[in-house]
């Protein structure tokens, strides 16, 4: 039966909603979760390290272009996920245990391979899921090492499990999460709850990467803010008292220097602040999916703990990002106003220059007219003199001619002819200039 042509991305887009499935868990179970930051260019190294483990254990590796995998390695199971800038490695070991954290799941891994994980370790968590046969623990009955003053606990999903954590690093460099099965419907529900708890820890620390940057750029944007305030104050003083355009240009140069500094801050922090917003939203979404209830009156839930300890750090980073944006907008407005003032001052100078040129042109025209009159007089004088010489020569030759009469009568005629000639020449030159002015 013939079918219409499929979109080339149809299969990939359909599989996308099934990507990164939850790992089924059968309590009692232990897990070690590690997230390494290797940057957006670290995918190849992460995938190569996974393939080395598969070759070492004789397990079929995932596809070369895969971004996630779930492998059964015999002694343990591995859930691997490659994200935009980090990679997560979660190892599961099934079987009973007396102490949830005495022998973590990572103990089943080749030590040299584990130590050589690419990237920088940011998240390291040991998690244990106790079976429902185990008696319900109170805060005082938790395994040794949990800090009572920062303890958080929740009843999850209408009571199917209890979760405990203190969100701190223990002596082995790992944080700890204890989950007690109180009625998981199946292994998939257990896997979903555990995955959400691990993602909260991962995305929490990924979001907090913005906090050191916010603290480092804070003093820089404070300096820029003060300098911008001083410049805008000086701009107001110039408006009230008038200003030398040179002063305004120097202020504009200072504004440009501040804009460059803000651009540097933006380039260094904008990506991190944007990522922090996305990770923060994921943390809030995962907490909502837990459907928490209080497990003990004296212990805050995971969501309450995050509101008190994590949310202020995120608000600080968001406030810093907002300050940078507001400063950039203020700099743009101040620069526009100052450039407008400089342009207006330049236009006034240009207007004065044009008026000065116009006055000089009128003076040149008057001088030209004066010179033109003098030229007519001078040329007429010499022409009349030539006529006088000619009449004298005629008299010397015996031709009867009255020298004084002829010379006197020729003066008006000569002056008129010279004046007409000079005027015609001037019109010809003006016409030549008009044609040249219209030429491209």
Residue 419 maps to a domain: yes
Tell me the two tokens of residue 169. 């690093």
Whether residues 29 and 177 share a domain: the answer is: yes
Residue 323 maps to a domain: yes
Look at residue 92 in the predicted model and tell me its pLDDT. Answer: 97
Among candidate residues 289, 318, 352, the one where a domain is terminated: 352
Look at residue 377 in the predicted model and tell me its pLDDT. Answer: 80
Q: Which residues in the chain land under pLDDT 50?
A: 240-241, 435-440
Residue 283 maps to a domain: yes
Whether residues 347 and 370 share a domain: the answer is: no
Look at residue 438 in the predicted model and tell me its pLDDT. Answer: 40
Whether residues 183 and 219 share a domain: the answer is: no
Dist. CA 429–CA 285, nearest whole Å: 86
Whether residues 107 and 216 share a domain: the answer is: no
Whether residues 282 and 343 share a domain: the answer is: yes
Residue 115 maps to a domain: yes
Among candidate residues 326, 352, 378, the one where a domain is terminated: 352
Residue 333 maps to a domain: yes
Residue 335 maps to a domain: yes
Whether residues 276 and 246 share a domain: the answer is: yes
Domain count, the chain: 3
Residue 71 maps to a domain: yes
Whether residues 81 and 181 share a domain: the answer is: yes
Whether residues 413 and 307 share a domain: the answer is: no
Whether residues 149 and 288 share a domain: the answer is: no
Show the domain range for 170. 18-189
Whether residues 315 and 424 share a domain: the answer is: no
Whether residues 408 and 368 share a domain: the answer is: yes
Look at residue 242 in the predicted model and tell me its pLDDT. Answer: 53
Whether residues 40 and 147 share a domain: the answer is: yes
Among candidate residues 352, 384, 415, the one where a domain is terminated: 352
Residue 232 maps to a domain: yes
């Amino acid at each position: 039966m013939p079918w219409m042509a499929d979109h080339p991305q149809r299969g990939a887009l359909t599989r996308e909603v099934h990507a990164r499935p939850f790992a089924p868990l059968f309590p009692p179970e232990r897990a070690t979760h590690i997230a390494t930051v290797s940057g957006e260019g670290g995918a190849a190294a992460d995938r190569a390290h996974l393939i080395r483990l598969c070759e070492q254990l004789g397990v079929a590796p995932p596809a070369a272009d895969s971004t996630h995998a779930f492998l059964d390695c015999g002694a343990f199971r591995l859930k691997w996920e490659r994200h935009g800038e980090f990679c997560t490695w979660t190892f599961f070991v099934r079987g009973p245990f007396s102490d949830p954290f005495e022998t973590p799941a990572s103990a089943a891994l080749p030590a040299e391979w584990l130590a050589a994980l690419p990237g920088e370790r940011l998240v390291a968590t040991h998690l244990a899921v106790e079976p429902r046969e185990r008696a319900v623990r109170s805060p005082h009955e938790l395994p040794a090492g949990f800090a009572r003053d920062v303890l958080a606990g929740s009843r999850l999903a209408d009571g199917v499990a209890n979760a405990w954590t203190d969100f701190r690093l223990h002596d082995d460099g790992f944080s700890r999460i204890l989950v007690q099965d109180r009625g998981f419907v199946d292994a998939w529900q257990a896997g979903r709850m555990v995955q959400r708890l691990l993602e909260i820890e991962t995305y929490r620390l990924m979001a907090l990467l913005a906090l050191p940057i916010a603290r480092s750029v804070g003093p820089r944007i404070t300096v820029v803010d003060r300098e911008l305030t001083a410049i805008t104050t000086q701009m107001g003083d110039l408006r009230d008292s008038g200003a030398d355009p040179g002063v305004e240009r120097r202020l504009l140069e200072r504004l440009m220097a501040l804009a460059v500094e803000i651009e540097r801050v933006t380039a260094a922090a904008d990506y991190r602040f944007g990522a922090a917003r996305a990770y923060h939203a994921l943390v809030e979404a995962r907490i909502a999916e837990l459907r928490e209830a209080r497990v003990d009156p004296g212990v805050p839930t995971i969501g309450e703990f995050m509101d008190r300890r994590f949310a202020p750090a995120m608000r600080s980073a968001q406030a810093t990002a907002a300050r940078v944006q507001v400063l950039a907008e203020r700099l743009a407005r101040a620069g526009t106003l100052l450039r407008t003032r400089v342009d207006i001052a330049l236009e006034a100078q240009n207007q004065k220059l044009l008026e000065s040129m116009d006055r000089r042109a009128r003076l040149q025209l008057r001088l030209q007219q004066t010179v033109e009159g003098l030229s007519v007089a001078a040329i007429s004088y010499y022409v009349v003199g030539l006529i006088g010489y000619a009449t004298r020569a005629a008299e010397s030759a015996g031709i009867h001619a009255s020298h004084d009469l002829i010379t006197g009568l020729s003066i008006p005629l000569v002056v008129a002819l010279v004046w007409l000639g000079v005027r015609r020449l001037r019109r010809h030159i003006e016409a030549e200039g008009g044609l040249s002015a219209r030429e491209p």
